[in-house]
Amino acid sequence: MNLVIDIGVYRFCIQGCPSALYPDLKKLYSGSIDLHLDKPIDFYLSVKHTSFIRRFIKPQVCLDIDQQRPFNPIKKTLLLPSLEWGMNWCIASFDSTRLLIHSSVLVKNGKAILFPAAPGSGKSTLATYFGLNGWKVYSDEMAIINLHKNTVKAIHRPASLKESSIDVIKALVPDVVMSSVAKGTHKGDIAHVKLSSRESFDGFDDAVICAVVLPKYQVGAELVITPLSQTAGFSRLVHHSFNYTLLGKVGFDTLKTVTDNSQFFSVSYSSYTGLDTFLDELVS
Amino acid sequence: MGISSEQEHFISIFSSPQLLLGYTSKEWESLLRIMRGTDMLGSFYYFLQKHNLITSVPDFALMHLQSAKNHSDQQVQQVNRETDFLHELLQGIGIRPIFLKGAAYVLAACGNHNGRVMSDLDILVNKSELQKVESALISDGWSEKKLDDYDEQYYRKWIHELPPFINYERGVTLDVHHTIIPPISGITIPEETLFSDSHITPSSKAVFNDEMLVIHSIIHLFFNEEHEKSFRDIYDIQLLLESYEQKKCISHLYTKAQALGFNRELFYALTVTDSLFNSARIVHLQKKSKTFKVSGVQKWFVLRIIVPAVIPSHELLDRPWNRFARFVMFLRGHLLKMPIKVLLPHFFIKSYRALVFMVVGAYYYSK
């Protein structure tokens, strides 16, 4: 069965999507599924069995993206996270018409804060928490920045939570809409969280970037907010970018525009109390 | 047998690019998928640019084309830099390598390098210099790429080639060759010929001269056994031929191919490009009394097997006959490269491994 997922900037078609995955995808993407069926698709992700025998014994599947296979095959039960990674891979590998930074993006009052960070720093959990508490999440994974401008685009995606973050969010936001947990992926246990309805997402216009915050979750840490220089901030953005070198001068110019118009901080925290007031001030 | 109407439709774009003006966005979508599958999105950007069609491309399609162009433009920069490094390194031990294939197209500015993606660099050196080159590369931070044991043995024993080198720091792979056709095939091109047929670029690097560039590209395609992505290679040859024709008459190429014993391969290449891109080189050569002595079977083979085998293998175009044709070409490629006493054990081991893949899935052998 084929399924179209429209995430705003890009449109995906999941070919051969196992029906067992429907309930989770419907829960997470709802109004973005099979939207505008007449419009062209950017990326086809085909779910294929690796061999005839592996259809039945320890079912194993892989993802093909127009004759490319970016990941090793996986157990059929772990498909949802792989689909999400596959979608990220398509964007990061095949769109160099925008500057892409490995970062979550929170927006309030039309102003955006980027949270660039390596995996495991807590940026998705942070995005999820604030997304369920009055902020708009433009992405928990990728800042999509328009070239030569200081604006960031939204994509309609769920956030991805790992391991203990799953329980942290369940405890903080009991009525969260969460997928089933994929246990034992190569990144551990993974669950996805719906952050916005399609109706509200349709109102997520490009937002002006006003600040960049480098998050570091540390168990038991006091909230420490350290301002960073523009130079240090610029170099962190380069470090977390997917396609800065590919874009050459245009990438530099775009990042310079972002840097000239942003404040930079690094933040270590163990709870969101205090952090919320700080973030509110940045976009006030 | 032969070519389906969808395949005709796809191919016709190259000889009648104005057909694209009538394309719906769904047709663009399919076209881009096929191009991406055959690694030609970047080349297709430049094809559209050459025919002044960029402004007629729908926005969604332009994003994909522009991105592919950006990737290959960056690769051109990278090739220029890497060939500088290699040239300098090997010059230090008194060796001037001939850069082959993708790197050569960039250095010689053949026109087909625009938008072309490549996965590695290739250089040609004298067989007697292989050891020196190997140690120079290793001392400069290159490592020999880890292959599984059987493949490594095969490389050293039968292909007489060094395994690929990789520079982890810069993410570049390098193949070092001492010939352009595996010695095991029984065909040899004397080293003197190979090295005397080179040309020095303005940046003082060596590449093959015009004839050898085309002939090497043709040999590479027709001695290959995998043809899933050969459409890109045949398009490459078409562009190389076009750029050759701007400088010289194709009859010189005919003479050169004949002298080296690759008459049949040239016939294949010209027949396939005539058939796919509406060029008329075979007829043109006939007028100059340059004819190919080929049998009816060979003519049938090229039109009914080679042409279907090089059509993009994307699921939107692929038909059982294309798969059959690729299988025939797969067997043929192996037979050309290996005498039967080598081929049979090789096939045995490779099919045993294929069976393992089938049963327990791929990646069983990857470390």
Residue B38 has pLDDT above 60, yes or no: yes
pLDDT at B333: 86
CB A240 within 8 A of CB A151: no
β-partners of residue A69 are none
Q: Which chain A residues are closer than 8 Å to B313 by Cβ?
A: 67
SS3 content of chain B, % helix, strand, coil (to 5): 65, 5, 30
CB pair distance less than 8 Å for A40 and B29? yes
Q: Is pLDDT above 90 for B97?
A: yes
Q: What mean pLDDT do residues B345-360 have?
A: 64
Classify residue B303 by its DSSP letter: I
Q: What is this structure's pTM? A: 0.90
A34-43, A61-70, B15-24, B341-350: lowest mean pLDDT where? B341-350
A66:B70 CB<8 A = no
Residue B37, chain A, CB below 8 Å: the answer is yes
- Interval B284-289 mean pLDDT: 91
Instruction: Return d(Cα B1, Cα A140) in angstroms, integer.
Output: 51
Residue B42 has pLDDT above 70, yes or no: yes
As given in the structure block, the two tokens for residue B251 are: 């009859």
Predicted pLDDT at B367: 40
Confidence of residue B157 (pLDDT cuts 50, 70, 90): low
Which backbone phi and psi does A197 adopt, to 5 degrees? -80, 165
Give one word for A104, left, alpha or beta, with left for phi > 0 and alpha for psi -120 to 50. beta
B151: enclosing H helix or E strand:
helix B149-154
Cβ atoms B240, B215 nearer than 8 A: no
| Cα distance from N-terminal residue to C-terminal residue, chain B | 42
User: Is the pLDDT score of B362 beyond 60?
Assistant: no
Share of chain A above pLDDT 90, in %: 80
Q: What is the pLDDT of residues A123-179, one digit of tens each?
A: 999 999 999 999 999 999 999 999 999 999 999 999 999 999 999 999 999 999 999
Query: What residue of A is the nearest CA neighbor of B67?
Result: A96
Residue with tokens 């069983």: B364
Q: Name the pairing type of β-strands A142-146 and A136-139.
A: unpaired
Position with higher pLDDT, B277 vs B145:
B277
Average of pLDDT values for B32-40?
A: 96
Q: Which of A253, A266, A139, A159 is nearest to A213 (CA)?
A: A266
Give contacts of B25 with chain A, Cβ < 8 Å.
39-40
In the block, residue with structure tokens 């067992």: A20
What is the edge-to-edge ordering of all strands in the sheet holding A182-185? A159-162, A188-193, A182-185
**B36 Cβ contact partners less than 8 Å away, ≥ 6 residues apart:** A66, A67, A68, A94, B64, B68
Nearest residue in chain A measured CA to CA from B362: A50
B54-83 confidence digits (pLDDT tens): 999 999 999 999 999 999 999 999 999 999
pLDDT tier, B366 (very low <50, low <70, confident <90, very high otherwise):
very low
Helices (H), A173-283: 198-201, 230-239, 244-247, 249-260, 275-282
Specify the 3-state DSSP secondary structure of A8: coil
Least confident of A211-215, A218-222, B207-211: A218-222
Position with higher pLDDT, B117 vs B350:
B117
Q: What is the pLDDT of residues B197-245, one digit of tens each?
A: 899 999 899 999 999 999 999 999 998 889 999 999 999 999 999 999 9
A67 at interface of B, judged by CB pairs closer than 8 A: yes
- For the segment A228-267, what is each residue's pLDDT rounded down to a tens digit? 999 999 999 999 999 999 999 999 999 999 999 999 999 9
Which of the four pLDDT bands, split at 50, 70 and 90, describes residue B294? confident
B80 touches chain A (CB under 8 A): no
Query: Residue A65 corresponds to which tokens in the numbers above?
Result: 């993206």
The answer to whether A7 and A155 have CB atoms below 8 angstroms apart is yes
Report yes or no: A195 and A131 within 8 Å, Cβ to Cβ.
yes
